[in-house]
Amino acid sequence: MRVIILFLTLLASVNAYSQSDLTFSQAYQKFNQAYQANNLSERIKYGKIAYELGIEKYGEKAKTSYVLALNWAVSLVEENNRKSARKRVELFQYVIEGYKTIYGQDSEKLIEPYIYYKQAIVAARPKEKRQYLQSVISGLEVINKKVEQGSLTQAYIAQVIADTYGKIGDAQTAGEWYQSSYDIYKEQLPENDYRLGIAAFNMGKSSLRQRSFYEAKQYFEQALLGFISEDGRNHKYELSTRAFLVSTLEKMGDSDEATEHVVALGKITPWKPNQRHQPLYRVQPRYPRKALDKGIDGWVALSFTISPTGNVEDIDVVESSNRLFEKPSKDALAKWRYAPKFVDGKAVKSEKLNVRLDFKRHN
């Protein structure tokens, strides 16, 4: 919403300029029209033109120039073209430094540029990636100290800081910030709020990394309450949460309870006969002792069916490099879970599918 407001505010000022400013005015008008029409390629085209003409007219240190840069940069982020990755990083650096000068480094107006800057850094993967991401964390921490304690804004900032720590590989600190975000959301939001769902989902993944399976289960179940909606707007998050629940429950030994989510995933995921079906849960086969002693690598090709409850059945060895690998492969595959096939709203047994398991020693 903040970006839209900037668009409309700037447009009003553009319309006030004289005939001599028509070229810039036209470029910005076309940018705004493209935004309203959801035409990304036109947004990028005219966002760039408006920015370049705006720099000529107002100078590099004008507030209007920073807004124009932000508009163009956000459009480039949405396009996510590898060729513009470095340019996106440069534009957000320019915007952030300008906003700091105009509004102060603790201004909430910097939150959105920092979020997009983080995305740009991750996409560009510059050699300074860690340094740049640390600057995002530092900047957001400054803002976090100023905003109202326990506010939804603070919860949102904490979540972004946690995400950024995750990007630099600091899972422990990320978990602490996710906890801070979750605590605020849980205190202030209803259980079916999407934002609380995201916070609970993040806590579930954090708990899973620590092998705290019972806690992970509770968080994922809570997350589902925020993602299940009749209009399906949170469909992808429901899918991810149910998949994590299947894995968590299987690791807890609760295969029967996992079946509810396995079947639900099958019901809401279209079955495509020719696609490569990915297991919701899998275990690695045991490497045969004799094969290790002999220094043998190998593979096994198997066929199988998926039952209406998502269990693997009718396992047959199609081919193998060595019989030593066959039994471990069949034993492992029998524990896998897949989303079942649905026909006319009912779970049915699938046709025969194929998978290959490879055995390679690590030197």
Beta strands in the chain (DSSP E): 298-306, 312-320, 341-343, 346-348, 353-359
**Is 206 contained in some domain?**
yes
Verify that 241 and 302 share a domain, yes or no: no
What is the mean predicted confidence (pLDDT) over 308-327?
97
Last residue of a domain, one of 227, 253, 279: 253
**Is 313 contained in some domain?**
yes
Which string of DSSP letters, residue by residue, matches 18-64? -GGGHHHHHHHHHHHHHHHTT-HHHHHHHHHHHHHHHHHHH-TTSHH
**Is 237 contained in some domain?**
yes
Q: Could you report the per-residue pLDDT of 44-60, keeping only the tens digit for each?
A: 999 999 999 999 999 99
Verify that 294 and 249 share a domain, yes or no: no
Q: Is the pLDDT of residue 8 over 70?
A: no
**Is 107 contained in some domain?**
no
Verify that 242 and 298 share a domain, yes or no: no
Q: Is the pLDDT of residue 15 over 50?
A: no
Q: Could you report the per-residue pLDDT of 52-94, keeping only the tens digit for each?
A: 999 999 999 999 999 999 999 999 999 989 899 999 999 999 9
Q: Which residue has the higher pLDDT, 243 or 230?
A: 243
Verify that 241 and 293 share a domain, yes or no: no
Here the CATH number for the domain that contains residue 339 is 3.30.1150.10
DSSP 211: T
Mean residue pLDDT across the chain? 91
**Is 77 contained in some domain?**
no
**Is 228 contained in some domain?**
yes
Q: Could you report the per-residue pLDDT of 240-257, keeping only the tens digit for each?
A: 999 999 999 999 999 999
8 A C-beta contact, residue 320 and residue 300: yes
Quote the domain boundaries for residue 226: 189-253
pLDDT of residue 185: 98
Last residue of a domain, one of 235, 253, 271: 253
DSSP 183: H
Instruction: Kindly tell me the burial class for residue 255, based on how many C-beta atoms sit within 10 Å of its own C-beta (0-12, 13-18, 19 or more).
Output: middle
**Is 100 contained in some domain?**
no
- pTM for the model stands at 0.84
In 119-154, which positions are buried (b, 16+ CB within 10 angstroms) versus exposed (e)?
Answer: bbbebbeeeeeeebbebbbebbeebbeebeeeeeeb
**Is 87 contained in some domain?**
no
Q: Is the pLDDT of residue 349 over 90?
A: yes
DSSP 278: P
Number of domains in the chain: 2
